[in-house]
Chains A and B, each alone.
Chain A
């Protein structure tokens, strides 16, 4: 499903080159539940961004659902992102001027889905995540946990095959963090691949497969 080979990512910072990823090989099958852990600056987010096609590797190949993504142009990559990948971020990244409903609706709007169908799907999804009564609230009127639920609802509304979550609990207290993780695990049980970056060992333990990154490389992988 996901196959990365010899992936490199180098950042130019002034005179210096920072090797964020050094020849990473990684693959994941459909429906897997993977936790990526490791010290700060080890390249976890960079790896996740490349899997999500938000960033392009400087070397190596990346195959997603037997599509060779590294040769796609911007428009084709956007198309893949739209239909196959859902993102959940540490800082939620809700658009502040839009209501919960409108935030969730956004991917459908971008994809040009018709209004009636949009409303149906948004209502359904919000209900499923237990925030149906908050549909018309703006992000600043929601708690952190509620915001993250809205973000997850937004990530799933296009029915992606992969969900990428970068420290989804990083800005939440333990209770709402656990809530969020349970929701994500529930999605995983519906055969959606879940790849989650976390600093919390307890959360990491829950994953079926754990990857530990150090200095731009994979040091430990319980799955392979």
Chain B
């Protein structure tokens, strides 16, 4: 029997009972589309987070004071340490050839006031390098001026949100604000950026690191952000940071270095596992759809007993009958998969329309997933009914008993 004829025959058979075929397609489509949709949502979330990370800058290393004996687990919250990271540590790091930029950071919160208006805000003490390291861009004015890190003027750069809160629609550039007990001149306003990973840069006030240290009365740094010269240099940069700080800290390894790519890899892994789990749960519905296909094919076999007997009388051997019925269930599930794919596509487009900022899209490989899942389901659950059809006794099938 020609392949074409097998397909034609099976198609005719399944379109003959339209109602049940449509319901079967519906079941299959629900299963396939939920698998594709959930996997794609997981994948979109993963890409979103990774993009967000990348927008924080590339080839970054974060140097934290303190070190924990217990490795693994969440990024360590180390708290205070007896020996701090100091500004001199940060300056020493700039000597390394594999390190391109170094941005020391002092973080704190303090009341910020303009005339009568007062807001408690996050104050970041840092250097001019922060602009490049964190991929920030200016809306108005300039970022912190470069120069000796140990010195600094009383100037500040404010985020777009902070500007709105403090100045509303009035001009901010050149104005004076009071932070704690000091006065600062606004020299720049950051361009608006989306919220990235909860680090909302639009609400911060950035001042020179040395000024921040005296404002908060501390010698220590909150962390140091280091940018390596290239992606390949990240590992060497980590070594360099460790050895420079070790030599400055009397041979003690008392810092923790987190590389951006390690964090990325962890996130990647977590999201992939999550995506697979969710997709797996949705795949249970495919099993149910498979059971349904099996059920309906069994009904079809018992309803079409006479036809099967006839085919045998006309000289169709068992394997041919088996092939016909398997083809039928495979066709049904593929059609269901196509429908499911379209359903998923439509839903995704709709979602993407509602939430444009997350760049939602179907995973590239989802058509393949849909096709293989459907074919797999159709064949696995089609075997039993097809076998039953093939094993029917023709004489019995033809008699009206």
- Contact at B315–A87, with CB atoms within 8 Å? no
Residue B51 at the chain A interface, CB threshold 8 Å: no
Closest to B17 in A: A97
Could you say which residues of chain A place their CB within 8 Å of the CB of B398? Answer: 54, 89, 93
Contacts known (A93-B306, A109-B1); A54 close to B313, Cβ less than 8 A = yes
Contacts known (A110-B1, A110-B320, A112-B2); A95 close to B314, Cβ less than 8 A = no
Q: Among the listed stretches A76-84, A175-183, A198-206, which one makes contact with chain B, having 4 or more residues with CB under 8 Å of it? A: A76-84
- Contact at B1–A111, with CB atoms within 8 Å? yes
Chain A, interface SS category: helix
- Contact at B319–A75, with CB atoms within 8 Å? yes
Bound-complex Cα distance A205 to B309 (A): 31
Residue B183 at the chain A interface, CB threshold 8 Å: no
Residue B223 at the chain A interface, CB threshold 8 Å: no
Number of interface residues of A (CB under 8 A): 32
Residue A70 at the chain B interface, CB threshold 8 Å: no
Contacts known (A54-B313, A75-B317, A78-B312); A109 close to B9, Cβ less than 8 A = yes
Pick the most buried of B13, B319, B394: most chain A CB atoms within 10 A of its CB: B394
Closest to A89 in B: B398
Closest to A154 in B: B314
Could you say which residues of chain B place their CB within 8 Å of the CB of A78? Answer: 312, 315-318, 320
Residue B118 at the chain A interface, CB threshold 8 Å: no
B284-327 CB mask vs A (1 if < 8 Å, else 0) is 00000000000000000000001101111111111110000000
Residue A52 at the chain B interface, CB threshold 8 Å: yes
Closest Cβ of chain B: how far from A27's Cβ, in Å?
A: 21
Closest Cβ of chain A: how far from B324's Cβ, in Å?
A: 9
Residue A61 at the chain B interface, CB threshold 8 Å: no
Residue A91 at the chain B interface, CB threshold 8 Å: yes
Could you say which residues of chain B place their CB within 8 Å of the CB of A109? Answer: 1-2, 5, 9
A106: contacting residue among B309, B314, B395, CB under 8 A: B314
Residue B195 at the chain A interface, CB threshold 8 Å: no
Could you say which residues of chain B place their CB within 8 Å of the CB of A97? Answer: 12-13, 16
- Contact at A79–B315, with CB atoms within 8 Å? yes
Could you say which residues of chain B place their CB within 8 Å of the CB of A98? Answer: 12
Closest Cβ of chain A: how far from B386's Cβ, in Å?
A: 15
Q: Which residues of A contact B (CB under 8 A)?
A: 45-46, 49, 52, 54-55, 74-75, 77-83, 87, 89, 91, 93, 95-98, 106-107, 109-112, 114, 154, 158
Q: Could you give 25 example pairs across A and B, Cβ below 8 Å?
A: A46-B395, A52-B313, A54-B309, A54-B395, A54-B398, A55-B394, A74-B317, A74-B318, A75-B318, A81-B312, A81-B313, A82-B314, A82-B316, A87-B314, A93-B306, A93-B310, A93-B398, A97-B12, A97-B13, A107-B315, A109-B9, A110-B314, A110-B315, A111-B1, A112-B2
